[in-house]
Chain A
Amino acid sequence: MRTLLIALMFVHAMAVPCLAETFQERIGLCLTCRGENGQSDNVEVPSLGAEPAPFVLIQLYLFREKQRRVEPMTDAAKDLTDDDLRQFSDFIAKLPAPKPPQDGPDAARMERGRGLAQSYHCGFCHNPDFSGRDNVPRLAAQREDYLVKALREYKSNTRPGYDASMAEVTQPISDAEILDLAYFMARAQ
Chain B
Amino acid sequence: MTLNASIGRRLLRAGTIAATFAAWPAVAQQPAPQPAAPAAAAPTGPAAAPPWAQGRPEAAIGVPLAPIAPPPIPTAADKLPIEKLKAPKGFKIELYAAGVGNARTLRQGDKGTVFVGSRLLDKVYAIVDRGGKREVKPIYSGLYRPNGLAFKDGVLYIAELSRISKVEKIEDNLDNPPKPVVIYDDLPKDEAHGWKFLTIGPDDKLYFEVGAPCNICMPSPAHAQIRRINLDGSGAEVVARGIRQIVGMDFSPITKQLYFTENSRDWLSEDIPEDKLNRLTQPGKDNFGYPYCHQGNIADQEFGWGHSCDEFTKPIALLGPHTAALGMRFYTGNTFPSEYRNAIFIARHGSWNRTKKIGGDIVVAKLSEDGTVKSIEPFITGFIENNNYVGRPADVEFVKDGSMLISDDFNGAVYRVTYSSTVGR
Residues of A within 8 A of B (CB): 54, 57-58, 61-62, 65-67, 82, 85-86, 116, 118-121, 123-125, 127-128, 133-136, 157, 160, 162-169, 172-173, 177
Contact = CB atoms under 8 A, between A and B. Distances in A.
B52 A165 contact: yes
A6 to B, nearest CB: 26
B45 A163 contact: no
Interface of B: 43-53, 56, 61-62, 64-67, 69, 71-73, 120-122, 141-142, 144, 189-192, 194
A165 B67 CA distance: 9
Contact of A85 (B46, B73, B191): B73
A124 B71 contact: no
B212 to A, nearest CB: 12
Determine the main DSSP class of B at the interface with A: loop
Contacts of B51: 168
Contacts of B122: 65, 67
Contacts of B43: 119, 121
Given A86-B73, A163-B120, A167-B191, 12 more contacts: A54-B69, A54-B71, A61-B73, A66-B142, A85-B73, A120-B45, A124-B66, A135-B69, A136-B66, A163-B69, A164-B191, A172-B47
Contacts, number: 84
A168 B52 CA distance: 9
12 contacts: A57-B73, A116-B46, A124-B49, A124-B56, A127-B64, A133-B64, A160-B191, A162-B72, A167-B191, A168-B52, A169-B49, A173-B47
Contacts of B189: 157
A66 B50 CA distance: 26
Contacts of A160: 144, 191
Contacts of A162: 69, 72, 120
A168 B192 contact: yes
A164 B194 contact: yes
Contacts of A54: 69, 71
Contacts of B191: 157, 160, 164, 167-168
A154 to B, nearest CB: 10
Contact of B50 (A123, A135, A157, A169): A169
A156 to B, nearest CB: 12
B49 A120 contact: yes
Contacts of A85: 73
